[in-house]
Amino acid sequence: MQLEDYFEFLDPDDIRIKGHRIGIDDVIKYYLDGYSPDQILEELPSLNLEKIYATLTYYLQNRRQMDAYMLRLAKWREARYQESLANPSPLALRLRAIKAQREQELLNLK
């Protein structure tokens, strides 16, 4: 089995572990945060150690490209977060209004 056989390359910026919705970035992030493979398995129990080791091996063999991949994902996520702050959905606006109303009610009780 080739190492790449463990992954689904859906897009240059969307690589998933085959048979899962988990991206390789999830495993890599835990690894970069200092988690051992066994600890990663505790956090992502739908995987197995074979898939975790395959992901880490792929990362280590392609470190420069994978670090660039992780950076692109972080920038994309931050852009989406900033967009959601600037243009909240109707649901987010409604939830904020409810929260503000409850906070005001609590202040009025004091």
* Residue 80 CB neighbour total at 10 angstroms: 10
| Separation in Å, CA 8 to CA 22, 24, 51, 96, 101 | 10, 10, 12, 38, 46
Domains of the chain: 3-109 (1.10.10.10)
Q: What is the pLDDT of residues 44-90, one digit of tens each?
A: 999 999 999 999 999 999 999 999 999 999 999 999 999 988 999 99
Q: How far apart are CA 21 and CA 86, in angstroms?
A: 29
> What pLDDT is stored for residue 48 in this prediction?
96
Q: Is the pLDDT of residue 18 over 70?
A: yes
- As a whole number, the mean pLDDT across the chain is 93
1 — pLDDT class (breaks 50, 70, 90): low
pLDDT higher at 1 or 107: 107
CA atoms within 13 A on the CB side of 45: 1
Residue type, 107: L
